[in-house]
Structure 1
Amino acid sequence: MPEETRELVVVITHGTDHELSSVGLTIANGGLTAGLKVAIFLTSAAVDIVRKKASDTTHVKPLEPLADMVRDFIGRGGALYACTPCVKARGYEQSDFVDGVTIAGSSVIHERFKRGAASLSF
């Protein structure tokens, strides 16, 4: 029987103004490189990371620019979710976000936890 791919959920709560958003994206992309199935769940100020052009000027050296890490994560098949209540509280809509972001409630990560996913929070 083939081994199932392990899952990782990365919860990010910090926005473009905090280095932990870049750390979270770096760890998530590293998880993809390691062969994990990775989902990012953005809550609170972190939903701003995926607003169009919002992270274009965020670069925490020596890490990659934040916008590049978001594009890389989505392009490599990572699942990227923005918390529904957090999005609504800020008056955002789907059209405010970069392509590849899904607005969803916490049930999307709970399903992964029920399957045994590991989690990290930033």
Structure 2
Amino acid sequence: MKPKLKDMEAWRQAELLMQPTLLRVLDNIRKQIEQSTWEGTYEEVETPIPGYQLCLHKQEQQVRVQVWELCYRVCFRDYIESHTPAETVEVEIDTDLLDENGEVDWTQLEEKTVKVIDDLFANLPNA
């Protein structure tokens, strides 16, 4: 899925949020893996968007998740992953992640990131 932002203000907000979101996503994945029976590794991928894929393994089971997709779930309001990689979908920045000055609200960012990663691990198949 290729996210499409509606205007320059949304681009500015996305640029402000994406790097801290990536860092919080990776840190929260690490915390979950430490408490889980799942093992995790990362693979570099070129499509649909260059970046990394989280590969979770447990016994015979394997789950792959695009790291950018996790970031999108945090940064965008009501984000739903598309199963069509080439599809472009207009997205809306979750402005609850910004404070009254338009800067990152670290508390809100952490809370939403924890929820997204907790949901990911809660919905993994049982082995």
TM-score calculated relative to the size of structure 1: 0.27
Larger Rg belongs to: 2
Q: Which has the higher helix share?
A: 2
